[in-house]
Structure formats: C-alpha cells, structure tokens
Amino acid sequence: MAKIEVENVYKIFGPDPQGVLSRAQAGDSKEQILAKTGHTVGLHDITLSMEESKTFVVMGLSGSGKSTLIRHLNRLIEPTAGRILVDGTDVLTMNDADLRQFRRTKMAMVFQRFGLLPHRTVIQNVGYGLEMQGVDKKTRDDKAVEWIETVGLAGYENSYPAQLSGGMQQRVGLARALCGDPEVLLMDEAFSALDPLIRSGMQDQLIELQEKLNKTIVFITHDLDEALKLGDKIAILKDGRLSQVGKPEEILLEPADDYVAAFVRDVNRARVLTVDVVMRPPRLRLTTENIDAALNEMKGKKAEYGYVFDGDTFRGVVTEDHLVKAAKTNGGGRSLFELADDTQTVAANAVLEEALPAILQSNAPVAVIDDAGQFQGVISKRQVIRVLTEHREEESTPA
C-alpha cells in the first residue's frame, strides 16, 4: 500500500469555496471560474499515490499549486474537497491534538526560505522537532549534534542562523527535519533559494542520505533537472491540474502533452536517462560451449555478435569473425566460454553520460550488468544516439 494517497483533492481560494466547488467539479477552467466568481482554483482534482521509501517529486512553475499541494499533506492548508490518507488514515479527520501529534512524529518539513527560528542557535533549531515531541534537553542536544555533524556543520552548533550562509542554513533546515526521525520528509522547494553549485551539492547529499535512511520524501521543485535527478516518480502540475505522473524516463521519453514536452525539450538526456532504460535484450544468446555450434547459430540468425551464457552466468561477447578465426586455428578444441570477451560492460544504473565512452569504444553492443553482477541486456551506439537525438529531430520537423 502506498504511504500517502491523495484522492480527488480540490482547493479553491476565495470567500465561498464550497459554493464554487461544483463548478470546478463540472470541469470549468481556472480562468472561467476566476472570471465568473472571483475564486482561484488552487488544485483541481488531484489524485496521487506516493510509495513508501521513495522520492516523489512534484514539479511545476510558480502558481501551479505545488506548494499548496505539499501543505495539504500535513494539513497546513485544508482542502476544499477530497481525501488525504497517510498510512491509511485520513488526515482530515484528525482533531487538533491528533494533528499536532501527527506533525510532530510522522512528517517533517524543509522550507524554501529555511524557516529557521532566528533567535535560536543551530543546535536549538535542529532539536526543535524533538522539543515539540517532549524529549528532554540532554537527548535532544545529543541527537542534534549527531545530525549537525551528518549534514557537515560540526562546529557551528552555537551559531545563530543569521551567521550562516544560505546553503548552511538549509543544512540546518534539513538536519532539523531529520532530527525528529519522521517517516515522511516534505521538502518545499528546499534547494531553490541556493546557488547552483551549492544546490547541486545539497542534491547529492540528499541522495546519499536517502540511500541510508529510506524515508518517504515528497519534494517540490520548479526545476526539471532537479526533479529528474531526485525523483523516483514525478508529477507535473500545471495551473492546479496534473499534467503527467510517471517515472523520470517516462516523463522524458513519453511526455503526455505539449506542456510537458516543452519542459523536457532542453533537458540533457545523457545526464538523466540510465542505461537500463535504453538497453534491449540481445539479438542472440549463446548457451553452448561448442564453437562450431555457436557459429552455426549465428549464421542462422544472421547475428554478428553473440552473448555467451554458462547457464545463468554471463561469460562475455563473441564476434562472428573472431569465432571463424578460432575455429580455423584450433579445430574447435577451445571452449566458447574462454573465448568470450567480458572486459566491456556497463552498469545498469549508470547514466548514459557515464556509460558513453564504453559504448562508443566497443564495436558490439555492450552488455549491461546490474549491481548483483547479473546480465540485464545490451546497449548499442545506435540506441544511444537515437534516444539522445529523437527530440531534436522532432524539433526540426516543421509543425
């Protein structure tokens, strides 16, 4: 079951949201409703499902409703209609005390403009969540010190936020959110206010932390590159409506509408797409040890290359020329397993940019190996070129 379920959520801003709700539900556009009633539709029929221990990114430009949406998850904003389930419990049915408890223990938030308490030191800020949970000062400080070290701010425990740079302040924000050990981390444009270089560093740090922590992260951003870098799944919002929800490669390769397509056009695909998205099954799997048999099979299938397997274990790649030569010199005495060349492989989770040198150097499509050393497929120059250039071709064809 998903960690967070958002079901048919509407949010309408104005004096009489309930009165306008039926119009929105009937499908009137944001502009129509604004012109006729003066109400602003913040969110229009949002249904999302966020998996446990995954990073869910909500992307959209300003005014798309993304910050409104994330504030619904911990009910800083109440929806006009719809349900929000966290671990199967409807957040909207909680009374004030339950809601406070829920915010203290389940969810922590990181803010675009940090939201640090300016009159408290770094250690007091980081321990704030625990303080709200009623943890004693000693435990609080011990934990806070740990987290301050984790985010790389050791030595700044007794500084005030105003003494720190933006990047450092947001590290405090991140440490504060994590210090209470929440199940869900809500990040509202957490890195948007930072310089590009620092932003990239923070993204890397978040990825690194997430590998250890496995939190459910909801990340809001207006930056598609950031969304693609961090997201296991991405939802794209436009004017309060969902344009598309999918994995990064789905967004990139199959944009649902012109809006998404316009967004993804300028993305550097080589940096985003991973090898396993582009790879294919090999044309020919050779499971025999016998060179002649292999040669026959290759000729029969008209394949220039064969991928040799010993049972389930990948042994390497062989070319037809290579086999012909070997058959002549060695009368088939050697095993195909020894002949196979297993020096060139690429990792399944590598991005294309990293895998590119290996792919370009090799004549044959390169074998793709996952973390466990298992063969996953092959990736060829042609596939890579196609996937990296197809959107440019689209662009050049007259509309």
Partner 1 sequence: MADGNWLVEFPALGRKDLRSIQKSIDEGFREFSRTYGQGLEDFFEPLLHFMIWFERLLLGAPWWLVIIVIAGLSYLASRNWKLTAGVVVAFVVIGVFGMWEDTMRTVAIITVCTMLAIVVGIPIGIIMARYDRVQATITPILDVMQTMPSFVYLIPVVMLLGIGRVPGVIAVVIYAIPPVIRLTNLGIRLVDKDVLEAANAFGANFRQRLFGVQIPLAMPNIMAGVNQTIMMSLAMVVIASMIGVKGLGQPVLKAITNQYFSMGLFNGLAIVAIAIIFDRVSQAYGLRIQKHRGVGH
Chain residues that interact with partner 1, rule: CB under 8 A: 74, 76, 99-105, 107-109, 111, 113-120, 128-129, 132-133, 160-165, 176, 180, 186
Instruction: Collapse the DSSP code of 104 into the 3-class scheme (helix H, G, I; strand E, B; otherwise coil) and give the result.
Output: helix
**Which C-beta is closer to partner 1: that of 98 or that of 142?**
98
- Distance in Å, CB of 315 to partner 1, minimum: 55
C-alpha 352: how far from chain center: 16
**3-class DSSP state for residue 290?**
coil
CA–CA gap between residue 308 and residue 337 (Å, rounded): 7
Nearer to partner 1, 180 or 316 (CB): 180
Q: Residue 117 or 213: which CB sits closer to partner 1? A: 117
Minimal distance, residue 179 CB to partner 1, in Å = 10
Beta carbon nearer to partner 1, 104 or 283: 104
**Element (H or E) spanning 376, and its range?**
strand 375-379
CA dist 277 and 248 (Å) reads: 10
CB of 151 to partner 1, least distance (A): 17
- Closer to partner 1 at the Cβ: 75 or 283? 75
Tallying the residues shown for the chain, one arrives at: 399
Burial of 10 (0-12, 13-18, 19+ CB in 10 A): buried
The nearest distance, CB 24 to partner 1, in angstroms, is: 26
CA distance 55 to 102: 20
Of residues 166, 174, 176, 199, the one with CA closest to residue 121: 176
Amino acid at 257: D
Q: Kindly tell me which of 78 and 390 has the beta carbon lying closer to partner 1.
A: 78
**Pairing status of strand 184-188 against strand 107-110:** parallel
Q: Report in angstroms how near the CB of residue 398 gets to partner 1 at its nearest.
A: 48
Structure tokens at 374: 């298992």
Shortest spacing between CB 163 and partner 1, in angstroms: 5
Nearer to partner 1, 89 or 165 (CB): 165
Comparison of 169 and 244: residue with beta carbon closer to partner 1: 169
Burial class of residue 138 in the structure, from the number of CB atoms within 10 Å of its CB (0-12 exposed, 13-18 middle, 19+ buried):
exposed
Closest approach, Cβ 118 to partner 1, in A, equals: 6
- The residue written with tokens 């794209």 in the block is 236
Q: How far is the CB of 8 from partner 1 (least distance, A)?
A: 24
The CA distance from 229 to 252, in Å, is 12
